[in-house]
């Protein structure tokens, strides 16, 4: 089964709407798309329910036709308003009243048919097959089959890159993190929903904030593995914006995701489970917020960067310490890391560095690395 969507001047929106339902979409014209809907019945129900779901998703007036072949759906969508379901086997009867101009015949052939008084699909269908072949040739035979709804051809899917980007204009400038996170949560929900519909995940998030002073604040977060968690994405953006706040109030927010195939893993039956990448990424982001990256601390957290550099060195020492025991299970290595950090925190003479190391230990413990 095939569906055709037609709306004047809405080619890009029609293509986006069709790709929400099927990966097999053909851009038949500037204002018409055809898609393969085989298999959608298990998700939406009958062909009527599929057509109504498409109309709701489009959100603007659109002609929708469903038929057993793409050409019949194409002519029905361009000739009848609203939703049309072409009965299989009765295509000729359903299309009979359509004007012949929908077939787009060549100018010379159109003049010949007009002289014969052929003005509708029904009129062309009524002509004898042999007479059409003898007088109008191969093109006439092709047009007669289309008028009968007998066209049969594969669709040519469009190979357009998929863009997962959402934007929002703000009614008033925003200079606080909390209302900005509310906007980001909504945009992330839309982006993740579109990724899920196409069985994809995100490997990178790109945030572009247009500022009130005509400047831009751009941030990019590269993920270790493809993810599709709105909650994780929102927390990562929050931690990043806390470390790198914009310099002026925000008037527009644009969020984009780079798509990738989801991660597929097979856990061993007798192998301890490793921490989930989503939780691990959040934990590392929180650790970076505590000890800083490259030996420096977040602005205003302490008065001496050397203190945090010392904590960062301990973090590297912790990693080296646990890496020295390759025979240990992941759970045992995680427990060693947790105890090392907590011990370093208690033994630190410098209170700030000691608190940082203790906090790292609690974070490691929070993602389930410790053996229990």
pLDDT at 369 over 80: no
In the 8-state DSSP scheme, what is residue 69? S
Q: For the domain bounded by 104-153, which CATH number is listed?
A: 1.10.150
d(CA 76, CA 367): 57
pLDDT at 132: 84
1-88: CATH topology: Alpha-Beta Plaits (3.30.70)
d(CA 87, CA 352): 76
| C-alpha distance from residue 14 to each of 43, 63, 164, 179, 227 (Å) | 20, 11, 16, 33, 28
φ, ψ dihedrals at 277, nearest 5°: -55, -35
- pLDDT tens readout for residues 266-286: 666 766 665 666 666 667 777
Residues 6 or more apart from 296 whose CB is under 8 A from it?
Answer: 305, 308, 309
Q: Using pLDDT thresholds of 50, 70 and 90, give the confidence band for residue 254.
A: very high
Q: Using pLDDT thresholds of 50, 70 and 90, give the confidence band for residue 225.
A: confident
Beta strands in the chain (DSSP E): 2-6, 25-29, 32-36, 63-67, 83-85, 164-174, 201-211, 216-227, 250-260
pLDDT at 304 over 50: no
Domain boundaries, the chain: 1-88, 104-153, 164-260, 277-366
Q: For the domain bounded by 164-260, which CATH number is listed?
A: 3.30.1490.100
d(CA 312, CA 291): 6
Using a cut of 0.85, tell me whether the model's pTM lies above it.
no
Task: Kindly tell me the sign of the dihedral angle through the C-alpha atoms of 7, 12, 18, 20.
Answer: negative
pLDDT at 231 over 70: yes
d(CA 292, CA 243): 9
Instruction: Calculate mean pLDDT across residues 85-107.
Output: 87
């Amino acid at each position: 089964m095939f569906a055709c969507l037609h709306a004047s001047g809405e080619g890009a929106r029609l293509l986006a709407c069709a790709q929400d339902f099927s990966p097999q979409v053909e851009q038949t014209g500037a204002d018409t798309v055809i898609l393969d809907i085989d298999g959608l019945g298990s998700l939406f129900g009958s062909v009527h329910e599929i057509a109504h779901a498409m109309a709701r998703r489009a959100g603007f007036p659109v002609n929708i036709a469903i038929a057993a072949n793409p050409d019949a759906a194409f002519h029905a969508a361009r000739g009848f308003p609203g939703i049309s379901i072409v009965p299989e086997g009765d295509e000729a009867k359903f299309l009979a009243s359509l004007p012949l101009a929908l077939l787009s015949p060549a100018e010379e052939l159109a003049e010949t048919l007009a002289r014969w008084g052929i003005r509708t699909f029904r009129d062309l269908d009524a002509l004898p097959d042999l007479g059409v072949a003898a007088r109008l040739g191969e093109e006439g035979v092709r047009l007669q089959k289309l008028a009968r709804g007998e066209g049969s051809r594969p669709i040519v899917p469009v190979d357009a890159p998929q863009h997962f980007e959402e934007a929002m204009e703000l009614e008033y400038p925003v200079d606080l993190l909390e209302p900005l996170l509310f906007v980001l949560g909504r945009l992330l929900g839309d982006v993740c929903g579109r990724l899920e519909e196409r069985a994809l995940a995100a490997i990178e998030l790109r945030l572009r904030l247009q500022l009130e002073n005509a400047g831009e604040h751009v941030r990019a977060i590269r993920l270790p593995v493809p993810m599709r968690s709105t909650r994780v994405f929102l927390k990562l953006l929050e931690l990043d914006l806390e470390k790198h706040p914009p310099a002026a109030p925000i008037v527009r927010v644009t969020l984009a995701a780079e798509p990738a195939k989801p991660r597929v893993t097979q856990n061993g039956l007798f192998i301890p489970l490793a921490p989930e990448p989503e939780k691990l990424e959040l934990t590392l982001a929180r650790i970076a917020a505590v000890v800083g990256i490259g030996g420096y601390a977040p602005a205003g957290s302490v008065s001496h960067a050397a203190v945090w550099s010392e904590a960062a060195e301990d973090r590297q020492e912790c990693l080296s310490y646990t890496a020295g025991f390759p025979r240990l299970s992941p759970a045992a290595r995680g427990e060693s890391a947790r105890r090392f950090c907590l011990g370093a925190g208690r033994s630190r003479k410098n209170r700030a560095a000691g608190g940082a190391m203790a906090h790292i230990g609690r974070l490691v413990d929070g993602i389930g690395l410790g053996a229990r």
